[in-house]
Amino acid sequence: MTAPLMQHHILEYPGGYTRSVGPAVGRYLSGLRDGHIVGVTGSDGRVLVPPTGYDPVTAATLEDYVPVGPAGTVTAFTWVNQPRPGKHHLTHPFAFALVRPDGSDTAMLHVVDAGSPDAMSIGMRVAPRWAPARRGYVTDLEAWVPLADGETPVPAPPNTNEDVSTEPVTGIVTPISLAYDINAGVAASKYLRALSEKRIVGQRAKGSDDVYVPPRGTDPTTGAPTEIEVEVGQVGTVTTYCVVNIPGLSENSPEIPYVCAQILLDGAHTAWFGLVQGLPADEVRMGVRVRAVWADDPGPDARSIKWFEPTGEPDAPYDDYKAYA
Amino acid sequence: MSALRTAVIGVGQTRHVVARHDVSIAGLVREAAEEALVDANMDWADIDAVVIGKAPDMFEGVVMPELYLADALGAVGKPMLRVHTAGSVGGSTAIVAAKLVMAGIHERVLTVAFEKQSESNATWGLTVEMPFSSPLVAGAGGYFAPLIRAYIRRSGAPTHIGHLVAVKDRLNALHNPKAHLHLPDIDLATVAESFLLWEPLRYLDVCPSSDGAMALVIGSEQVAKNATGPVAWIHGTAMRSEPTMFAGRDQVNPLAGRKCAADVYAQAGIKDPRKDFDCAEVYVPFSWYEPMWLENLGFCAEGDGWKLTEQGATAMDGDIPWNPSGGVLSSNPIGASGMIRFGEAAQQVRGRAGDYQVPLHTGLALGHAYGGGSQFFSMWVVGASQPQ
Amino acid sequence: MGSGIREVAVVGFAQLTALEDREHNEVELIIPAVQGALADAGMERHEIGFTISGSCDYLSGGPFTFVSGLDAAGAWPPVKESHVEMDAAWALYEAWVAIQTGDVDSALIYGFGKSSLGDLHEIMGLQADPYVVAPLWPSMVDMAALQASAFLAATDYTESDLCAIAARSRRAAVDNPYAVRVEDATAQELLARPVTHTPLRDSDIAPITDGSAAIIIATREIADARCERPAYIRGIDHRVDAQGLGLRDLATSASTKLAAQGAGVSNGPVDVAEIHAQFSHEELILKEALGLDDAVVVNPSGGPLGANPVMATGLIRIGEVAARIRSGSANRGVAHASQGPCLQQNLVCVLEGDQ
């Protein structure tokens, strides 16, 4: 059998998520920017770090902020041999650790830059190493570092970030980019491979005449697999459409205005979403007959059909397609 | 056996705005939840379970954010559920919460639905470009506009009907201080002249993108009887789904919506929804969906929905006001929008709708939500009186 | 929370797993599970009262995966249907509640996920607080390893105890056709292998698995007519902890303990337990929280260390216990499901056959 169709896929909101942080997280991040660690007193008197806005036991709003640290104690750790570029802010091996700052009753998840896993132990004393340029982000505390007996933590150096405000932090931007390798599946692979041969091949389930194009693997009315392939026509009827006047976010989005239509191909029983070009947007109409226009180099991809253009045939009568609109 | 009697005891919601820069996601949901608790005269400790709903996690870039929200919502040590049924999720979430009480499992359930769309961008979140597909449809409007065109063709509706709804719902919103859009100068001309997005939909025919949250406290019969304020009795709940695309599917007037309505009406004893309800809060994210859902929900014969809109039947002073709160067209934190419909219906029958209160005759109101490709439906009927 | 008013039993179960399924998409993964569970229950699609699924959009890299998932469920004419963005064990809970209201008498529950498409461990790290934890990018394995570290420090257990669990799970998995990682190795052999995420080894970490599972539950009236020995749900409960790892005692699972009490685990002898432990140390924490003694057979299927189709793994625990009750090899068993960083949220289901 032929190799499965796979495509790389990046899920990423362009520019990163714009997060407003609210008072508690804002207080914490403002503290980190200014070179100190802030906790909050919970309903039971415990000091919680980072400050939760809400008591984990009673759900009451918490606002009694208290300074903690600067030194702390490691209560758990795990070593990261291979930092992930673009994700971890340290580029050399480090530890994720739970660190309980002095004066706090809870530990916070952060990183310890200890050089080697052999330097890590539960109960070890650590101190913050502050980033020289701080912006009100969790990595302003660049890392915790081992603190030898008798050593005192080094205070945060003056912030070299001249653009930063001294007002309380209200928001952060967090980039999130996730990589996937998506496989098309059996049904879609057959269909996509046919496209690369300039054929449109739908599928139907045993015992049903309903031909699905593009096929998604089942007849969704029964959940039965669509194992029987049926080649359909490359000409069809626009059952309905809209004229799109707002640009898509993707670089592949067509130029506006464009017509996006539901097209019922001859021999198919479900409408296909496609572009209609070759006639002015204001002359597109329900019932107009169109044919597929192929890309010069069709491949196993939905983009192999660039768009649909009018065939010049008379429009289909409404009664012929109204059940599909 | 049959479900136990259940009521909405408390309702809370945020002011819906384009971006709530002053709160975290937790702060946003808390605001609605605290207001609902105050309304119900309850504290966090009184709550037995928490049910959370929202639309895709990619909007905020947090995987299953209810986990991070557990302590903010007072769920620690309690059962917590997270519902996701696309656009209908706000309604479905309320129904899941109600069922926990109807089944006799809990006495008091807090349910919250939210979306903080300003963390990303709704058009991006709804139409993430996936491998093997072509990037055709920009935003939800690109999907629904062709269905609206099909409705217009089918019904012969004049083209200004959508604009009538766009104006009516925005004028209603002027009386709702929590609504996102307050457009005092809106009229047919401003809608008709607004930017054409997805023809036939113009900018003002389309819902906004909002940050917001809605919360309800749902209680048992005993809790309802001990409540200090008015409650909204739940007279029926229903959900129906059908696949996105199949041969012969009526996408304009989906059977799942009709079946769902028939089910909830049967439970609540509704024979003629236009007469039997005092008002309806219906998920209308694009103006034309008012006439379309008027037909789907049986408020008139098929093909006549636009006539009700045109006659003003659905206006505040009409015989069956739709979306007195201003509806989705005035506030749309997607994951919460369905629960806002359910909650606003409850506020009406409680007599708590403030400046957009409708007169109560039957004391019954409909809450409605839909999602996906018009394929997921959730509805409830609430009433001022206890069901017989 | 108790046992409910209506007696409800598991009457059908099917699962499907693969280490890395490059052939099928999610819909195609679901079809055999749904069809298999229906066949196992001897029921037709149209006889099912309620349909519900559990899945996670982030596993497939785009929104609304569950919408296309419905294409595998045969949702026509329109069905009463819902979805949770949770492990499908919680979908089963919602289905059980729906039956308790009297609205429906049976339900189809399915869970599915393809963990192999993206970096599962990185994705699940994004369950963490989005402001002060997630931007540091700890993976779910990093967070689990922190719990293991705290757990070993707080107890007398050692890494060799973790290896013993891994070895037993891998051996048990040999007999499970759905396990994707099997091995007949001793604890000593595993202990000799490198630590990958201190204090965890690869053998302590559930394998990446693609898969799906489906279960049919029904009232006694239906169950007794369709099924020789239905596995009755005697109790089901679920609880959540605060998320912050520093806010919890990581050596225990308070939410599991509460759920176990609610489900009535201690109301009778337990023959078998299927525990949703994606990491070796979690089994020790959970066994303690569930109140199970050493006589209980734990994870005879090999558990999640043998196969971990995320979003279905918890549901499979219920299916595995039910299957043993239905076959007569056990009379009363406990199924446990978990999700969230370091066992944040836990569900416990007690199943029993008629005496």
Domain parsing of chain C, residue ranges = 8-118+208-231
Residues of B within 8 A of A271 (CB-CB) are 245
Per-residue pLDDT of chain C (355 residues; tens, 9 = 90+): 444 589 999 999 999 999 999 999 999 999 999 999 999 999 999 999 999 999 999 999 998 889 988 999 999 999 999 999 999 999 999 999 999 999 999 999 999 999 999 999 999 999 999 999 999 999 999 999 999 999 999 999 999 999 999 999 999 999 999 999 999 999 999 999 999 999 999 999 999 999 999 999 999 999 999 999 999 999 999 999 999 999 999 999 999 999 999 999 999 999 999 999 999 999 999 999 999 999 999 999 999 999 999 999 999 999 999 999 999 999 999 999 999 999 999 999 999 999 7
Residue type, C289: A
For position C2, what pLDDT does the model report? 43
Yes or no: say if C347 and C93 are a contact pair by the CB < 8 Å rule.
yes
Do the chains contact at A76 and C28, CB–CB below 8 Å?
A: no
Residues of B within 8 A of C75 (CB-CB) are 241-243
Do the chains contact at B136 and A275, CB–CB below 8 Å?
A: yes
CA neighbours closer than 13 Å in the CB half-sphere of residue A284: 30
Question: How many structural domains are present in chain B?
Answer: 1
B340 in a structural domain: yes
Task: Give the nearest chain B residue to A176 (CA atoms).
Answer: B61
A202 in a structural domain: yes
CB atoms within 10 A of CB A18: 18
Tokens 């809870």, residue located: A106
pLDDT of residue B359 exceeding 90? yes
For position C1, what pLDDT does the model report? 43
Residue type, A232: V
A232 in a structural domain: yes
Chains with 3 or more CB pairs under 8 A to chain A: B, C
pLDDT of residue B130 exceeding 90? no
Label residue A302 by pLDDT band (50, 70, 90).
Answer: confident
Which residues lie below 8 Å from residue A167, measured CB to CB, with a gap of 6+?
none
Do the chains contact at C66 and B3, CB–CB below 8 Å?
A: no
Q: Please indicate if any CB of chain C lies within 8 Å of the CB of A33.
A: no
Question: What b/e sequence results for C141-168 when a residue is b if at least 16 CB atoms lie within 10 Å of its CB, and e otherwise?
Answer: bbbbbbbbbbbbbeeebebebbbbbbbb
CA neighbours closer than 13 Å in the CB half-sphere of residue C31: 22
Q: Please indicate if any CB of chain B lies within 8 Å of the CB of A52.
A: yes
Residue B362's domain spans which residues?
Answer: 1-126+137-388
A144 in a structural domain: yes
For position C64, what pLDDT does the model report? 86
For position A318, what pLDDT does the model report? 92
Do the chains contact at B63 and C101, CB–CB below 8 Å?
A: no
A4 in a structural domain: no
Same domain, A156 and A21: yes
> C-alpha angle C2/C7/C9, rounded to 5°?
105
Residue type, A112: V
Do the chains contact at A54 and B26, CB–CB below 8 Å?
A: yes
In the beta sheet, which residues pair with residue A11? A178
Q: What is the CA radius of gyration of chain B?
A: 19
Residues of A within 8 A of C72 (CB-CB) are 217-218, 220, 223
**In angstroms, what separates the C-alpha of C117 from chain B's closest C-alpha?**
12
**In angstroms, what separates the C-alpha of B334 from chain A's closest C-alpha?**
17
Do the chains contact at A19 and C131, CB–CB below 8 Å?
A: yes
Q: Please indicate if any CB of chain B lies within 8 Å of the CB of A212.
A: yes
- Three state DSSP letters for A63-81: CCEEEECCCEEEEEEEEEC
Q: Please indicate if any CB of chain C lies within 8 Å of the CB of A65.
A: no
Please tell me the least confidently modeled range out of A246-255, B110-119, B157-166, B196-205. A246-255
Nearest to B80 by CA among C260, C253, C2, C94: C94
What are all long-range contacts of A85-88, with beta carbons under 8 Å and residues at least 24 apart? A86/A177, A87/C122, A87/C137, A88/C136, A88/C137
**In angstroms, what separates the C-alpha of A104 from chain B's closest C-alpha?**
19
Question: What b/e sequence results for A38-53 when a residue is b if at least 16 CB atoms lie within 10 Å of its CB, and e otherwise?
Answer: bbbbbeeebbbbbbbb
Same domain, A204 and A290: yes
Q: How far is CA B199 from CA A84, B142, B351, in A?
A: 46, 9, 39
How many helices, marked H, and strands, marked E, lie in chain A? 3, 21
For position A250, what pLDDT does the model report? 65
pLDDT of residue B66 exceeding 90? yes
Do the chains contact at A137 and C135, CB–CB below 8 Å?
A: yes
Same domain, A193 and A158: no
Do the chains contact at C70 and B241, CB–CB below 8 Å?
A: yes
Measured CA to CA, the distance from residue C293 to residue B307 in angstroms comes to: 70
Measured CA to CA, the distance from residue A285 to residue A296 in angstroms comes to: 27
Residue A82's domain spans which residues?
Answer: 17-174
pLDDT of residue B2 exceeding 70? no
Question: How many structural domains are present in chain A?
Answer: 2
DSSP, res A206: T
A9 in a structural domain: no
For position A252, what pLDDT does the model report? 67
In the beta sheet, which residues pair with residue C347? C238, C337
CB atoms within 10 A of CB B317: 8
Residues of A within 8 A of C147 (CB-CB) are 76
Do the chains contact at A178 and C74, CB–CB below 8 Å?
A: no
Mean pLDDT of A120-126: 98
Instruction: For residue A67, say if its preceding peptide bond is cis, omega within 30 degrees of 0.
Output: no
Burial of C227 per CB tally in 10 Å (0-12, 13-18, 19+):
buried
B131 in a structural domain: no
From first CA to last CA, the distance across chain C in angstroms is 24
How is the beta sheet containing A65-68 ordered, strand by strand? A47-48, A37-41, A65-68
Measured CA to CA, the distance from residue A20 to residue B215 in angstroms comes to: 21
**In angstroms, what separates the C-alpha of A26 from chain B's closest C-alpha?**
9
The alpha carbon dihedral of B41, B47, B51, B54 has a sign of positive
Residues of C within 8 A of B375 (CB-CB) are 67
CB atoms within 10 A of CB C216: 30
Yes or no: say if B59 and B115 are a contact pair by the CB < 8 Å rule.
yes
Q: Please indicate if any CB of chain C lies within 8 Å of the CB of A256.
A: no
Mean pLDDT of A73-80: 98
Q: What's the CATH number of domain C8-118+208-231, 3.30.300.180, 3.30.930.10, 3.40.47.10, 3.30.360.10? A: 3.40.47.10
Do the chains contact at C80 and B239, CB–CB below 8 Å?
A: yes
B132 in a structural domain: no
Label residue A317 by pLDDT band (50, 70, 90).
Answer: very high
H-assigned helices in B70-138: 89-102, 122-126
For position B135, what pLDDT does the model report? 60
Q: Which of residues 221-250 of A touch C (CB under 8 A)?
A: 221-225
B313 in a structural domain: yes
B342 in a structural domain: yes
Label residue B122 by pLDDT band (50, 70, 90).
Answer: confident
- Per-residue tokens: B80: 């917590």
User: CATH no. for residue B274?
Assistant: 3.40.47.10
- pLDDT by residue (tens digit) across A37-67? 999 999 999 999 999 999 999 999 999 999 9
Q: Please indicate if any CB of chain A lies within 8 Å of the CB of B201.
A: yes
Do the chains contact at A78 and C145, CB–CB below 8 Å?
A: yes
Measured CA to CA, the distance from residue C307 to residue C162 in angstroms comes to: 17
Do the chains contact at A325 and B154, CB–CB below 8 Å?
A: yes
What 3-state DSSP class applies to A160? coil
Do the chains contact at B64 and C57, CB–CB below 8 Å?
A: no
- In terms of DSSP bridges, do strands A72-80 and C50-54 run parallel, antiparallel, or are they unpaired? unpaired
